[in-house]
Chain A
Amino acid sequence: MKETILHQIGEIVRSTLQWIPLNVVRFLFLGLITVVLILVLRLPIAETTPDKPGKSRWDENLKLWAALALVLQLLIYWFL
């Protein structure tokens, strides 16, 4: 069975990634979700509420529901 340059590149990548402990990997997953959560929380209110005259209801703010979806993700990836 021949090994080519592609196999060697793959093996280097594989052994490097294998070296990362699964606990650290979990934090990479959580980190990704947290970054998205921070981006959402920093959005100006005008971009997350309907463009209509008068004040919007609290439940019309999409930021709240997006944050809830992401917090649920954080819990899921923390526990499973």
Chain B
Amino acid sequence: MSLVATDIGGTDIIGVGGAAYKHGLAVANFEWIGCVPAMIIGAFFFVPFLYRTGIYTIPEYLERRYNVTVRTIMATCWLIFMACNLGIMLLASAKMMQSLFGWEMWFSIILMATLVGFYTSFGGLAAVVYTDVLQCVILIGGCLLLVFCGLYELGGIENLKSRLQARQMQQSALNSNASTQTPSNPAIFPSTKEIKSLPSSPPTPDSHLHLILPVDTPTPFPWPGILFGLALILSPAYWIGNQAIIQRSLGSKSEFEAKASYVWGALLKNIIPIVIAVPGLIALALYPDIGDGDLAIPTLVTRILPSGIRGIFFAAFLAAMMSSVDSYLNSASTIVSYDFLKRFSKTAISETRILTLGRLTTMACMTWGVIFAFLLTTLKEGSGIYAIFQTLMAFFQGPALAILLTGMMWRRANGQAAVIALILGISTSVTLYALNQPMIYSSLGWKPLFQIQEPFLYFSIWAFLVTLSTLFTLSLIFPADDPTKTDLVIWNKNPPTKPAFIQQNQNSQDTEK
């Protein structure tokens, strides 16, 4: 439950609901094929291996398998991602509070940041895991309540379907009219307008209820992106390589418990889209003119839930938000402590100093999160928060998975090659993102590189392929690493445990305690 609670936060309740409102049920792919197979594979093949190696963080494994440069690059990427993701979570909570209580965005962002920052700084991982379980129960209960009340308001599932079909027909008629007209001011948002004017298959009346969408769908979820970008790259990268997730599992008492946490999480994932994506569809059927998709769930909560039940839902939302924010803060502290402080300190470091640094990291991340949330509020035609979150992940998850998987599965993979491949891969996704920005491609006189909105899934595919091919080629050119590194592959049933310098550092700290 702690795993699922870490994964599902306010970003998902607001963001997935918002994406379902805008693009339909296809967003549920992120919780289904984008989670379940990778969690099961992770449970039986990768988690036991990582558990046996005795590592604390994924970057630590990368140092033992490759070198300290790979570790530091990945730790930095994760820190940046976690801090930015905190901003997205704070923004999601601000949108909810604005809709429910009419509070100002800035006030909600700062209030939430203060509350969660305080509670994580003084609670540590134990507080995070124990509260996660309770928060997960409240979250699922609260969201189910919204689904039941919404369906009651609509008069049942059949009415939901028929309203969505009618809405889809209306939308496709409007789109076909719009594509025959000249845009009044093509310079403002050329990307969206050019995308709309591209030929695309007409949506079927019930395409809002389909998981598999054609290549030229106007949504960010075409099937090649979902199958290759999500199911085969982003999802394994998230469930095998995400520190905030893997930390839950590696903190288990036994290897069996580590595996069980993933398997039970996967089982629970099957119902998550029902509680977080279906409310978005209900909002579309009831209130089709909301405009900003991210306001779909807050609007639904405000308009259909009675005031007492609204309070319960708000508690569920807060629970989800706190669960994810505190997990990310905790993981950020772990990365700073283990991957920077302990790794680069020449003398033994006391637990008190590590604890102090952890609290400072929490404060620094929270401060950046607040700044990033404010920056996001200034975007005029912003992407939905879920797309922003996925785009951030797509920048480095493809390259991260390529070096992690190759390192775990191929003895010949080499440290020097991994550094170059990782840098090239991250540069590829960032360059593709930049070249797809209207301001940049217009100034170059280019057409947009991608024909769908928010092509984050495609960034991850190309970045993964560039990293993989570079790593493969350069590993064959550079000399092989020594056996202490190359023995850290999944096929080795008895991988070497911690090397002497890490063991020594930890032993001296244990003695001090």
Residues of A within 8 A of B (CB): 1-4, 6-7, 10, 14, 17-18, 22, 25-26, 28-29, 32-33, 36, 39-40, 43, 47-51, 62, 65-66, 68-70, 72-73, 76-77, 80
Contact B447 A50 (CB under 8 A): no
29 examples of A-B residue contacts, CB within 8 angstroms: A1-B445, A1-B446, A2-B444, A2-B445, A2-B446, A6-B435, A10-B450, A18-B216, A26-B212, A32-B37, A33-B33, A33-B37, A36-B41, A39-B41, A40-B40, A47-B44, A47-B48, A50-B256, A62-B260, A65-B264, A65-B267, A66-B263, A69-B263, A69-B270, A72-B270, A73-B33, A73-B36, A73-B270, A80-B210
Q: B25, B32, B212, B259: which contacts A73 (Cβ < 8 A)?
A: B32
Which residue, of A17, A43, A69, A73, has the highest number of chain B Cβ atoms within 10 A?
A69
Contact A69 B267 (CB under 8 A): yes
Question: Of the 9-residue stretches B93-101, B223-231, B353-361, B390-398, which lies at the interface with chain A?
Answer: B223-231
Contact A32 B227 (CB under 8 A): yes
Contact A18 B25 (CB under 8 A): no
Taking A3-B446, A48-B259, A70-B40 as known contacts, 10 extra A-B pairs with beta carbons closer than 8 A to each other, sorted by chain A number, are A32-B33, A32-B231, A47-B48, A48-B44, A62-B259, A66-B40, A69-B267, A70-B36, A73-B37, A80-B209
Contact B40 A6 (CB under 8 A): no
Residue of A nearest to B210 (CB): A80
In the complex, which residues of chain A have a beta carbon less than 8 angstroms from the beta carbon of B255?
A: 51
How many residues does chain B have at the interface if contact means C-beta atoms less than 8 Å apart? 42
Contact B25 A4 (CB under 8 A): no
Contact A49 B256 (CB under 8 A): yes
In the complex, which residues of chain B have a beta carbon less than 8 angstroms from the beta carbon of A77?
A: 32-33, 211-212
Complex Cα–Cα for A43 and B45 (A): 10
> CB-defined interface of B264-283 with A at 8 Å, one 1/0 digit per residue?
10110110000000000000
User: Quick one: given A69-B40, A80-B25, are A3 and B214 in contact (CB under 8 Å)?
Assistant: no
Complex Cα–Cα for A39 and B46 (A): 14
User: Quick one: given A32-B37, A32-B231, A69-B40, are A18 and B214 in contact (CB under 8 Å)?
Assistant: yes
In the complex, which residues of chain A have a beta carbon less than 8 angstroms from the beta carbon of B210?
A: 80
Which residue, of B37, B264, B445, has the highest number of chain A Cβ atoms within 10 A?
B37
Complex Cα–Cα for A80 and B209 (A): 7
Q: A6, A28, A50, A80: which contacts B449 (Cβ < 8 A)?
A: A6
Contact B32 A76 (CB under 8 A): yes
Complex Cα–Cα for A62 and B40 (A): 10
Residue of A nearest to B273 (CB): A76
Residue of B nearest to A56 (CB): B256
Residues of B within 8 A of A (CB): 25, 32-33, 36-37, 39-41, 43-44, 48, 209-212, 214-216, 223-224, 227, 231-232, 254-256, 259-260, 263-264, 266-267, 269-270, 435, 444-447, 449-451
Residue of A nearest to B25 (CB): A80
Complex Cα–Cα for A68 and B224 (A): 26
| Secondary structure dominating the interface of A | helix
Complex Cα–Cα for A22 and B435 (A): 30
Distance to closest chain B CB from A17 (angstroms): 5
Q: A18, A43, A72, A80: which contacts B44 (Cβ < 8 A)?
A: A43
Distance to closest chain A CB from B266 (angstroms): 4
Distance to closest chain A CB from B197 (angstroms): 12
In the complex, which residues of chain A have a beta carbon less than 8 angstroms from the beta carbon of B214?
A: 18, 22
Contact A22 B212 (CB under 8 A): yes
In the complex, which residues of chain A have a beta carbon less than 8 angstroms from the beta carbon of B451?
A: 14
In the complex, which residues of chain B have a beta carbon less than 8 angstroms from the beta carbon of A14?
A: 215-216, 451
Contact A25 B231 (CB under 8 A): no
Contact A70 B215 (CB under 8 A): no
User: Quick one: given A17-B215, A51-B254, are A69 and B269 in contact (CB under 8 Å)?
Assistant: yes
